[in-house]
Amino acid sequence: MSYVSDSSCLRKALRQQYLSLTQGDHCQISYIWIDGSGEGLRSKSRTMDSEPKCIADLPEWEFDGSSTGQAVGSNSDMLLIPVGMFRDPFLLDPNKLVLCEVVKHTREPAESNHRNRCNKVMEMVQEELQPWFGMEQEYTLLGLDGHPYGWPRLGFPKPQGPYYCGVGADRAFGRDIAECHYKACLYAGIKICGTNAEVMPSQWEFQVGPCKGTEMGDQMWMARFLLQRVCEDFGVLATLDPKPMKGNWNGAGCHINVSTVHTRGEGGMEYIEQAIEKLRKRHVEHIRVYDPHGGEDNKRRLTGLHETSSIHEFSAGVANRGASIRIPRLVALDKCGYFEDRRPAANCDPYLVICTIARTCMLEEEDEVVDLE
């Protein structure tokens, strides 16, 4: 048996009575933000007297940045600026989940706030190029003791092979999480487009997109929040560690799929090839931002084995899952569409990933430097 949390063993059916109580015109609003680690999410809640209809209806708020690795105690107040509003699949309508940017009291973005810069880059490219992004988030379920969920206490499950898109009690470990998360995303208004069981047992994936510009980051961070929150209910952990198990087990990535009005149009393949050549020149720079530790996390994952490319080399190919960049077979046949950058680690910051891709592939070099730091 895998070890699940005490909280998940509470009598969850009792919740139903409280959830069905009326709340007048009041609305419960959970503010959600990325903490100082650049990976963790935090949330706290407040009451509003009426239902907010748009982001402009939501007040700014403060929190104690010294408790989230974002400020020192003597000057700890940080500001939460609402940037995205979603329906709350846990407390249900009319309650809301609100994604926030974190800024200092000077209104400069916090160090961990990469959305701000991403947004500036997207504003420069958006109108002309209309970039779309789609991300595939892989994650691994663990028991509360950190052991992969459903794996034998001693020894290992049978080797990889039957688990990818697998069905059956000996192949699909923890499907409830993937399915409940899918439902929660749809209710909340996330553009989730699919999910599948992955190559390593107890590893899963969901896909979000296509999204326009910065929206990709907003949607993916909220989808990650929902994943953590669903897992909390079930008492298990979802880790975004890019290589949770050493040895002959696949790691976890967050492939990013990219297109512009040019790549999507007739003759788009030419533009895809141009983008690939630009990416080739900046491989090292991209690897640095494709995980939160400057490439250290991806070192364990991008070995050239287990459907990855080597961290030291750039490569591209049609239908090639061992390449840095893959052009999907159908895109090659249509001669237009999108390409996939397979390098980002599961724990990457989507804002940083799309911002870096846009700078490399979609901005002229002289525009790139404009006021981005």
Query: What residues make contact with ligand ADP under the rule CB under 6 A?
Result: 132-136, 193-194, 207-210, 255, 257-259, 264, 337-338, 340
Q: Which does 236 bind (CB under 5 to 8 A by kind): Mn ion, ligand ADP, none?
A: none
Find the binding residues for Mn ion in span 203-242 (CB under 5 A).
205
Radius of gyration in angstroms for the set of CA atoms belonging to the chain, rounded to a whole number: 21
Shortest Cβ 326–Mn ion spacing (Å): 7
Whichever of 218 and 340 has its CB closer to Mn ion, that residue is: 340
- DSSP-assigned beta bridge partners for residue 140: 203, 239
Whichever of 145 and 179 has its CB closer to Mn ion, that residue is: 179
Angstrom distance (rounded) from CA 179 to CA 143: 18
Shortest Cβ 276–ligand ADP spacing (Å): 15
List all residues 6 or more positions away from 244 whose beta carbon is below 8 Å from its beta carbon.
140, 142, 148, 251, 252
Shortest Cβ 141–ligand ADP spacing (Å): 18
Angstrom distance (rounded) from CA 265 to CA 14: 54
Whichever of 98 and 208 has its CB closer to Mn ion, that residue is: 208
Q: Which does 95 bind (CB under 5 to 8 A by kind): Mn ion, ligand ADP, none?
A: none
Q: Which does 134 bind (CB under 5 to 8 A by kind): Mn ion, ligand ADP, none?
A: ligand ADP
Angstrom distance (rounded) from CA 55 to CA 248: 46
Whichever of 196 and 228 has its CB closer to ligand ADP, that residue is: 196
Mask for 127-146, x = binds Mn ion (CB under 5 A): ---------x----------
Shortest Cβ 132–ligand ADP spacing (Å): 4
Q: What DSSP designation does 25 have?
A: T
- DSSP-assigned beta bridge partners for residue 137: 206, 254
| Residue in the structure block whose two tokens are 């403060």 | 62
Q: What is the per-residue DSSP string for 350-361?
A: HHHHHHHHHHHH
Could you tell me the sign of the dihedral formed by the alpha carbons of 120, 121, 126, 127, in that order?
positive
341 binding Mn ion? (CB under 5 A): no
Contacting residue, 229, 243, 255, 262, with Mn ion by CB under 5 A: 255
The residue of the chain with the least Cβ separation from ligand ADP equals 134
List all residues 6 or more positions away from 216 whose beta carbon is below 8 Å from its beta carbon.
133, 134, 135, 208, 209, 350, 354
Shortest Cβ 346–Mn ion spacing (Å): 10
Shortest Cβ 322–ligand ADP spacing (Å): 13
